[in-house]
Amino acid sequence: MKNTLSRRAWLTTIGAGMTLGRSRPAEASQAGRPAAPIAPAGSDSLLLKDFEPRSMLVVPETQVARARFPVVDVHSHPTFRAKIVAGVPHGEAVRTSATPADLLTMMDRRNLRTIVDLTGGVGLGLAESVRTFQQPHPDRFVVFTEPSYDRITEPGYAQWQGEELARAKAAGARGIKVLKVLGLFLRQQVTTGPLVKIDDARFDPMWEACGALGFPVAIHISDPTAFFLPVDRFNERYEELHERPDWSFAGKDYPSNADLIAARDRVLARHPKTTFIGLHVGHSSEDLGAASEALDRFPNLHVEIAARLGELGRQPRASRKFFDKYQDRILFGTDGPQDALYASYFRFLETEDEYFDYGPGRVPEQGRWRIYGIGLPDAVLKKVYSENAVRLLRL
């Protein structure tokens, strides 16, 4: 969730409308950027944070403000838990990041059919999320529930959590979101003690209940691999981690990225009748070979693409092959909802544009590189945009 909240701080609104032109290295294409250099010519005092190289390429540039086909965004957070202690959600209260009216206006402009609120909360908070979004607009919003991690020390928690999902479904929930709280923040005494492992047996009744109830599990158990490496001159996410050192999971008692994925795989193997959606390309966006191996090994696994354009778009040939091969198991997501995000996703999926920004910030947050579109054919695009989600979520 903290990734999402940070992006909200730096994203800006992209205007609607669709245009087709050619990008040029002219000053006119850099409207809004300062013309004068920050450091004098020949100076060696320019800081990396002030470096804004302008591409000299003259290439086609397509602005895709509206998706070609209706879209289901399976990864968004219109609501979220109000109280977080040491990375662990506590209590039932929720907060909202936008009103349904505001979101519907944006959704209609971008051609979004449905938004899935993954962090709809628990108990009374879940009821509030359903009442605010899903009940008045059942075709436009879908609400997921979450585990009650703050109750893990209570007697009988394992059975209670499994049974709680039936109550959540009766309240309107359509699935469950497992945040990286499990594996990276939740500890044996909730906020103290050793970390609780993803494949801890206390959650087996929950996984089994998800399968019995037809609840898809949207699971986020790791972060980019660079977040688990030393924050030094070799780390490609250095600027991002230097700005947010709390995002680094290098050292301390954190497991490695490989250990987290191995624990997830043990859960997938133990619960073959439960459907899992591996968020962020199943945490293997930098290694599509590993993502492919997981999809081949576990038929109950699907993936979605939220917040990973920076990785997918810089390996366009491998990404195109990945989308072609797994076109029935890839879903669309953004980790929003943020209006400014959608144009970049549509451009990546719909065009073959070259060397463009994957985010609207002054300097893209994740790293100093650009991406390439993969130009999916309409049949595949329809599946990724909505058809796979409609089938999986039974919309």
With beta carbons less than 8 A apart as the criterion, state whether 116 and 74 touch: yes
* Residue 227 parent element (H or E): none
Domain at 321, CATH number: 3.20.20.140
Q: Could you write out the DSSP letters of every residue in 86-120?
A: TTEEEEEEEEESS-HHHHHHHHHHHTEEEEEES--
Average pLDDT estimate for 122-129: 98
Question: Please, what is the angle between helix 288-297 and helix 316-325, to 10°?
Answer: 10
pTM reported for the whole predicted model: 0.88
Residue 173 placed within a domain: yes
Residue 369 placed within a domain: no
Place of tokens 């993803």: 198
Distance CA 120, CA 174 (A): 10
With beta carbons less than 8 A apart as the criterion, state whether 68 and 376 touch: no
With beta carbons less than 8 A apart as the criterion, state whether 331 and 277 touch: yes
Q: What pLDDT does residue 29 have? A: 39
Statement: residue 40 has pLDDT above 80:
no
Residue 348 placed within a domain: no
Q: What pLDDT does residue 41 have? A: 56
Statement: residue 1 has pLDDT above 50:
no
Statement: residue 13 has pLDDT above 50:
no
Residue 146 placed within a domain: yes
What Å distances lie between residue 166 and 97, 127, 152, CA to CA? 27, 14, 18
Residue 198 placed within a domain: yes
Residue 299 domain boundaries? 70-340+376-393
Number of domains in the chain: 1
Statement: residue 12 has pLDDT above 60:
no
Residue 175 placed within a domain: yes
Q: What pLDDT does residue 69 have? A: 98
Residue 94 placed within a domain: yes
Question: 75 φ, ψ to 5°?
Answer: -135, 90
Tens-digit pLDDT profile for residues 334-349: 999 999 899 999 999 9
Residue 16 placed within a domain: no
What Å distances lie between residue 331 and 35, 75, 139, CA to CA? 41, 9, 18
Q: Which of 239, 359, 236 is nearest to 307 (CA)?
A: 359
With beta carbons less than 8 A apart as the criterion, state whether 209 and 163 touch: yes
With beta carbons less than 8 A apart as the criterion, state whether 76 and 114 touch: no
What Å distances lie between residue 19 and 64, 130, 353, CA to CA? 7, 37, 13
